[in-house]
Amino acid sequence: MKAKRTVATLILLILFIVIGIIMIFPIYYLFMGSLQKSDTLFGSAMKLVYDSGIMDFNNYVSIFTYKGGIYLSWYKNSVLIAILFTVVSLFLSSMVGYGLGAYEFRFKNIIFVMVMLVMMIPLEILMLPLYKLIISFGIIDSYRGVILPFMVAPVAIFFFRQYVSGISKEFMEAARIDGCTEYGIFFKIISPVMKPAYGAMTILLAMQQWNSFMWPLIVLRSNEHFTLTIGIASLISPYSANYEVMYSGCILAILPILILFVFNQRYFISGLTAGGVKG
């Protein structure tokens, strides 16, 4: 029995290593391409092993001076939009999820079903009415136009509701007896307990906004307001494509989400586990 268990563990280890290599290879391919010039990338076979004769880090230097440093402007826009969206969405979605999970009131289940239904509606169906809405608000080509329509995330509401449903109501009752207000219960009692949920949703919401392409493409008009996804895509045209900037730009675009995950991975794992089984 012990031998069989050891063999099974070894097989699983090998399988996970193979899966890990398959998943990491595109990033490795992108990084090696970012060290080479366009004529090397497409004029001959691309090198996947470091060669000091044709590889250097000049692409990472030139990207910051490309068209007057427009890449830095794209980067700044993406970072600011992702931060604003994540903070606002966490605050509003957690409050809605808390209300649906902690209180009993009329039409509660109907509201929750409506939230679930919104999760099933694809963006393509909502684009036209949302576009007309932000035009009527006069917030086209602005951060607000990108953030406002999606700042209350249905998936985050569902997650927080499930998490709060698993928290003992005795905490809230004890706080009420001590004279704590309902807002005080949320901010002083429930929010600290929901740290794992906040950690998990921070990564998911930030990654969602960071990778968003279609909606920012519709809303943003001027080149200096573009996000990274739009800016990098704009480097491709029917007549030319600056692959050197694209490759190095894509590698740098990975860093914020990677750093965010490294600092929140503990909360991410525990939050997903707890939120998936409670309620």
Q: Categorize the per-residue pLDDT at 270 as very low, low, confident or very high, splitting at 50, 70 and 90.
A: low
Q: Which tens digits make up the pLDDT trace of 237-253?
A: 766 667 777 888 889 99
Mean pLDDT of all residues in the chain?
85
User: For residue 191, what are the CA distances in angstroms to 98, 155, 172, 183?
Assistant: 9, 18, 12, 11
Q: Please tell me the least confidently modeled range out of 34-38, 69-73, 219-223.
A: 34-38
Q: Which tens digits make up the pLDDT trace of 105-134?
A: 888 889 999 988 888 888 888 888 999 999
Give yes or no for a contact between 93 and 250, defined as CB atoms under 8 angstroms apart: no
pTM of the entire predicted model: 0.86
Across the range 20-29, mean pLDDT stands at 90
* 246-263 CB burial, b ≥16 within 10 A, e <16: bbbbbbebeebeeebeee
Across the chain, which distance is largest between two alpha carbons, in Å?
75
Across the range 83-107, mean pLDDT stands at 92
Q: Is the pLDDT of residue 53 over 90?
A: no
Question: According to the model, what pLDDT value does residue 43 have?
Answer: 61
